[in-house]
A and B are shown apart, each in its own frame.
Chain A
């Protein structure tokens, strides 16, 4: 439409500004890729050089020796994020349905209380959490990272899924209800199948959140290397005297590939779904 039309200088201006904006956003990734492709000796030369002739994939081979458990870390990250997502969804689906459809006492108060959880971070609750997990014999197990992870993703999950469920027409449920279906049957056989696109959005958001938040709980509640997720596993190597940065970057890039793939496949739905709640009016 004509109102949106930009003159050529304006277009150029938009592209130049977008370039700098995206450069800020993507610089660390570009730099990580660049570093991962260069031998360590050349990264440490006296004069900074942006480009050189010696790009190679050597670091991607050596990293498996330097970080012997790298494969395990990546597996752990995926395993923990998947478990957190599955558990969160099992808890969130019924709760979101209750908030979207049912009337009950303390409804808005309890929803507000759930959302208030977002105000806390694990960091202020670590001491008692440590004791809870010790009491439950969960320290130094996958559970120590999974259980707190689930708790802190529940509020956002309920919030996102609730706004999606509210958009599904009630008539279908009412029809099933009139036909004598039980509430649970209606939820399982009518609501959940209809909500699949929303479940995918919320599931992906929870997965990304679960992948992202592992660090704090992992370094605090777990000191077994074999079950450490990638960020905590790599962090240990960053603390050493001689950090082989090129291999660290190669390992980091390899480790984020799964979550980047998930994102790229689902980004269209994800972006729309995440913001749906924000711009309802």
Chain B
């Protein structure tokens, strides 16, 4: 095909300017319609339901009673605290493990192409399937982890990791880190490969050590990606449902109940729609506030590191 340079083209395009708007909206309208019906309308409806005592039987307007009950419940605040703690710990670990992983996969050693493929399976397979594998490994009677701990003499007896409150919580975190690490690693690796070689070479010529180059070039250069991945993983971790649900269903005695699990239990398992909806609204508000604050922070980081 020849690329005809037609001087009249811009004008002709301008004549179609009006139809460009219409055309554009026609193109995005199916997507908009989907989102409107499956996300926006349910969201509005969730807000409305949160002011009712809806159950399967029917619903009455109760004003802010659901919220009042929720905020007066010390258990709820425990769950909020636990959720943020869960998010903070899991995200920090994912970023650290992902950064180490990406650095390793970025090293110039034979076999790195294969290693890069081997990182991805936890992301490829359905989360639920991977978690079923972890559930087996955590079990106390013949699970791998308990078995290895005994083998190395670290524990005397079998340990059922999901049966006690503390170990269940941290076991769920380990699994969550496992699920999230491939994506984080992949994005960090891509960012590292995008760092200009000139920077490294200039530092190298000046005799900067590898560690110095990592700290002073790699980290600042990929900082915008680190910060955006932190936000994305924070949202995913906050919203993560399957991992905890399959491992513990929020137990033992609530030790792994995050806001999402609590909402699901109230809304779906016990079908208290109104109370569940109030919890869902709290989640949305918390996430929105958190994200806005974070985007503001991201903006500052980007400016600080001079990214576009």
Contacts and interface: CB of A to CB of B under 8 A. Distances in A.
Nearest to B148: A48
B268 to A, nearest CB: 6
B83 interface: no
B240 to A, nearest CB: 8
B34 to A, nearest CB: 5
Contacts of B19: 183
A102 B235 contact: no
Nearest to B8: A178
Given A5-B108, A177-B9, A178-B12, A21 B100 contact: yes
Interface string A67-107: 00000000001000000000000111011011100111101
Interface in A135-174: 147-148, 150-152, 154-155, 158, 171-172, 174
B121 A278 contact: no
A255 interface: yes
A222 interface: no
Interface of A: 3-6, 11, 14-15, 17-18, 21-22, 24-29, 31-32, 35, 43-45, 48, 50, 77, 90-92, 94-95, 97-99, 102-105, 107, 110, 113-114, 117-121, 123-129, 131-132, 147-148, 150-152, 154-155, 158, 171-172, 174-175, 177-179, 183, 208, 211-216, 220, 230-232, 234-235, 238, 245, 248-249, 252, 255-256, 259-260, 263-264, 267, 271, 274-275, 278-279, 281
Contact of A45 (B120, B142, B201, B268): B142
A218 to B, nearest CB: 9
Interface of B: 1-4, 6, 9, 12-13, 16, 19-21, 23-28, 30-32, 34-35, 37-39, 41-43, 45-46, 49, 54, 97, 100-101, 104-105, 107-109, 115-130, 132-137, 141-142, 144, 146-148, 150-151, 178, 181-182, 186-187, 189-191, 193-194, 200-201, 204, 224-225, 228, 232, 235, 239, 241-242, 246, 260, 263-264, 267-268, 273, 276-277, 280, 283-284, 287-288, 291, 307-308
Nearest to A214: B126
Contact of A17 (B12, B104, B117, B127): B104
Given A114-B31, A212-B126, A151 B39 contact: yes
A128 B137 contact: no
A260 B125 contact: yes
Given A104-B25, A124-B46, A230 B126 contact: yes
Given A97-B27, A128-B49, A175-B1, A275 B13 contact: no
Contacts of A178: 4, 6, 9, 12
Given A126-B267, A172-B3, A92 B31 contact: yes
Given A31-B144, A129-B42, A267-B117, A260 B124 contact: yes
Nearest to B43: A125
B109 A6 contact: yes
A91 B31 contact: yes
Contact of A102 (B6, B24, B34, B201): B24
Contacts of B178: 24-25, 28
Contacts of A43: 142
Contact of A279 (B25, B30, B225, B268): B225
A104 B1 contact: no
A71 to B, nearest CB: 16
A124 B291 CA distance: 17
Given A24-B178, A158-B31, 7 more contacts: A22-B118, A28-B130, A104-B21, A117-B39, A126-B264, A147-B38, A238-B135
Contact of B239 (A114, A123, A275, A281): A123
Contacts of A3: 200-201, 204
Contacts of B129: 230-231, 234, 252, 255-256
B126 A215 contact: yes
A6 B24 contact: no
B136 A245 contact: yes
B31 A263 contact: no
Contact of B194 (A24, A92, A279): A279
A234 B194 contact: no
Given A18-B105, A211-B126, A252 B132 contact: yes
Contacts of A15: 109
A29 B27 contact: no
Contacts of B128: 215, 231-232, 234-235
B200 A263 contact: no
A36 to B, nearest CB: 10
Contact of B126 (A92, A256, A275): A256
Contact of A151 (B34, B144, B189, B277): B34
